[in-house]
């Protein structure tokens, strides 16, 4: 229960319930899955409906990561690969989603003090409008998504 209270508070803040200036309702709790080994990138997943004309998502930053890259997984027959994405065009009412096996965020150079059970700030940067900060749960490499 103690873990759910901060997540619920973050969700209320993001959906605009008592927090003006926010324009997203989180569909599922966003999270960062830590890498299985040291020096490897972590991955982040989220689903946020877009409100208003934002243009495109042009970057994601995280104060506790050296860099964040947007990637897309692709499958051709039995081969899987991924490629970086420079921008994601968005329209009002569309869903911005990063999920396992599809589009995802990769966090490189993550602060070693980031541990499972904690939180990490991600900031979504759009062509138009203010950045959208998200405080997301941190889980272990083999942990269950929140």
Per-residue model confidence as pLDDT tens digits over 74-112: 888 888 888 999 999 999 999 999 999 999 999 999 999
Q: Where are the domains of the chain?
A: 4-139
pLDDT at 1 over 80: no
- Superfamily of the domain at 4-139: PCu(A)C copper chaperone (2.60.40.1890)
Q: How many CB atoms lie within 10 A of CB 7?
A: 18
pLDDT at 9 over 60: no
Tracing tokens 């409008």 back to the chain, one arrives at 129
- pLDDT band of residue 26 (cuts 50, 70, 90) is low
pTM recorded for the entire structure: 0.79
Task: Report which of 43, 39, 17 is spatially closest to residue 106, judged by C-alpha positions.
Answer: 43
Q: Is 77 left (phi over 0), alpha (psi -120 to 50) or beta?
A: left
- pLDDT band of residue 6 (cuts 50, 70, 90) is very low
pLDDT at 141 over 50: yes
Per-residue model confidence as pLDDT tens digits over 28-48: 799 999 999 988 999 999 999
């Amino acid at each position: 229960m103690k873990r759910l209270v901060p997540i619920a508070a973050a969700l209320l803040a993001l959906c605009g319930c008592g927090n003006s200036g926010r324009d997203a309702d989180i569909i599922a709790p966003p999270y960062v899955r830590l890498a299985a080994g040291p020096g490897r990138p972590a991955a982040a997943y989220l689903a946020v409906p877009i409100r208003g004309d934002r243009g495109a998502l042009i970057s994601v930053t995280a104060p506790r990561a050296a860099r964040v890259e947007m990637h897309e997984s692709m499958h051709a027959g039995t081969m899987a690969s991924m490629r970086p994405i420079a921008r994601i065009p968005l329209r009002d009412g569309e869903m911005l989603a990063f999920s396992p096996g599809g589009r995802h965020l990769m966090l490189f150079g993550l602060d070693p003090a980031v541990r499972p059970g904690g939180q990490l700030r991600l900031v979504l940067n759009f062509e138009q409008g203010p950045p959208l900060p998200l405080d997301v749960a941190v889980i272990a490499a083999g942990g269950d998504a929140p």
